[in-house]
Amino acid sequence: MFPARRLPGGCRAIRPHHLRHHSVPSASPNLAFVPACLPPHPAEVEEMQRFISNSKKLFVMTGAGISTESGIPDYRSEGVGLYARSDRRPIQHAEFVRSATARQRYWARNFVGWPQFSSHQPNTAHLVLRHWEKLGKLHWLVTQNVDALHTKAGSQRMTELHGCTHRVFCLTCGDQTSRSELQEHFEALNPGWKAEALGVAPDGDTFLTDEQVRNFQVPACRKCGGILKPDVTFFGDTVSREKVDFVHQRLAESDSMLVAGSSMQVYSGYRFALAAREKQLPIAVLNIGPTRLDHFASLKLNSRCGELLPLIVAH
């Protein structure tokens, strides 16, 4: 394990000629929700190249920072994340289960935001990781995101740690349905209801007033009449023990860990970095801004995932 290297700021990158070409198709980034940062310095690219070249069974964990370049805002990014732009906070699991009013507000906002949220496409970083999987370089991918962009990119050796908004299930009988099908149910129940979003939030959420939400009708489970919930882990809920154990097994099979686009503030993901440190695996972090891993990561780079990862040649 080599010591963490943080290069001085203010240096603009001149991309090394041998790293310019990559066989992965590019996707134009949407930088509206991406914090400002300098391009990667050539020395940083070389260090990440060395890290990836030395990895034979790479364990990758991604966070919201990998999807901001697809136009999806995150919670914590400086200046552009939800917490920086608003005093609004995501719904808590207990509140959703307990309160019909909270569920009405959640689903009304999600109904308005869904057409845009579901249309987002994977960016270059997602495509690079899919390419690494096909090459056999990436052993397992764990994403903390619920946006399905890794699935859209074609990743298969993957665990959605916090679930996916594209699935909905009944809290009573467990019946699953697709979120797109539920959108049709919403439209049928609310033929005259219209609301214009006052802002965009992470995970398909939008900003609506209480007045806008008041008459929105929420369907119940068609099989048993139970409460419908997106198949995601809300704040205040926990990831299942079975899923945690499965991810630990994939980590045990790996020889290195890359964290891309995550500050790792949430323990459900951070625990795997702690496990990697316990196993003395080299850990690289690619994230704009500080993370909980900075003091023990082998390598920390402060760059956009979609800008740096395509420069890495994997074999």
Q: Report pLDDT for 89.
A: 61
288 is in an annotated binding site: yes
| CB contact at 8 A, 110 and 126 | no
53 is in an annotated binding site: no
Q: Report pLDDT for 206.
A: 73
pLDDT in tens, 62-105: 999 999 999 888 664 454 434 344 456 678 999 999 999 999 99
Q: pLDDT > 70: what percent of the chain?
A: 83
Three-state DSSP string of 74-119: CCCCCCCCHHHHCCCCCCEHHHHHHCHHHHHHHHHHHHHHHHHHHH
Q: Residue 262 — pLDDT band, cuts 50, 70, 90?
A: very high
Q: Residue 287 — pLDDT band, cuts 50, 70, 90?
A: very high
| CB contact at 8 A, 224 and 254 | no
16 is in an annotated binding site: no
Q: Report pLDDT for 20.
A: 41
| CB contact at 8 A, 56 and 255 | yes
204 is in an annotated binding site: no
Q: Report pLDDT for 4.
A: 44
298 is in an annotated binding site: no
Checking if the pLDDT of 305 tops 60, the result is yes
Q: Report pLDDT for 188.
A: 97
Average pLDDT over residues 256-276: 97
Checking if the pLDDT of 13 tops 90, the result is no
What's the CA gap between 149 and 274, in Å, rounded?
A: 26
Checking if the pLDDT of 267 tops 60, the result is yes
Hey, what domains does the chain have and what are their CATH numbers? 42-311 (3.40.50.1220)
Q: Among 162, 166, 295, 315, which one carries the catalytic annotation?
A: 162
Q: Report pLDDT for 76.
A: 47
| CB contact at 8 A, 6 and 44 | no
Query: Which tops the pLDDT comparison, 174 or 91?
Result: 174
Whether 162 sits among the annotated catalytic residues: the reply is: yes
Q: Report pLDDT for 313.
A: 96
pLDDT in tens, 198-217: 666 666 667 788 888 999 99
CA torsion 62-66-72-78 (nearest 10°) is 100
Average pLDDT over residues 264-273: 96
Average pLDDT over residues 289-297: 96
192 is in an annotated binding site: no
| CB contact at 8 A, 309 and 14 | no
173 is in an annotated binding site: yes
Q: Report pLDDT for 33.
A: 75
196 is in an annotated binding site: no
pTM of the model: 0.86
Q: Report pLDDT for 16.
A: 37
Query: Which tops the pLDDT comparison, 74 or 174?
Result: 174
225 is in an annotated binding site: no
Q: Report pLDDT for 87.
A: 55
3-class DSSP assignment, residue 259:
strand
pLDDT in tens, 187-196: 999 999 988 7
Checking if the pLDDT of 254 tops 80, the result is yes
Average pLDDT over residues 24-45: 79
Average pLDDT over residues 154-174: 97
Which of these, 54, 168, 41, 160, lies nearest to 114 by C-alpha position? Answer: 168
Checking if the pLDDT of 61 tops 90, the result is yes
